[in-house]
Amino acid sequence: MAIYQINKGINKPIEFKGLKAQYIGYLAGGLVMLLVVFAATYIMGIPVSICLIIIAALGILLFYQVFKLSHRYGEHGLMKMAAKRYLPNHLKFSSRKIFLRLKR
């Protein structure tokens, strides 16, 4: 009889250094945007030292925000929070028919 190893990571979210699921993509997209901002500031003629200071500050802010969101909301929490905005505050009914049908 053959002995097979069991993969214990099935159906678990992707995790990298504490970042979960879509936050890895957000961080990657943010880093690409920082690269574009650096290129734009360099082409505009701003000195490299100032460009690096600006990009370093924005990079630190990006990492802080993404890790904060990942730890606060988890894998699906950010999507749930965004979906909550579309829920109505209250429901308005013009008749009692719907409630009377519930009794039956």
Q: What is the pLDDT of residue 104?
A: 63
Question: Average pLDDT by consecutive 10-residue portion of the chain (104 residues)?
Answer: 72 77 89 96 93 95 92 83 87 82 74
Q: What is the pLDDT of residue 41?
A: 94
The SS3 of residue 66 is helix
Q: What is the pLDDT of residue 91?
A: 82
Q: What is the pLDDT of residue 98?
A: 79
Please give the model's pTM, rounded to 2 decimal places. 0.68
Name the DSSP letter for residue 12: P
Q: What is the pLDDT of residue 31?
A: 95
Q: How far is CA 77 from CA 47, 49, 71, 96, in A?
A: 41, 39, 10, 36
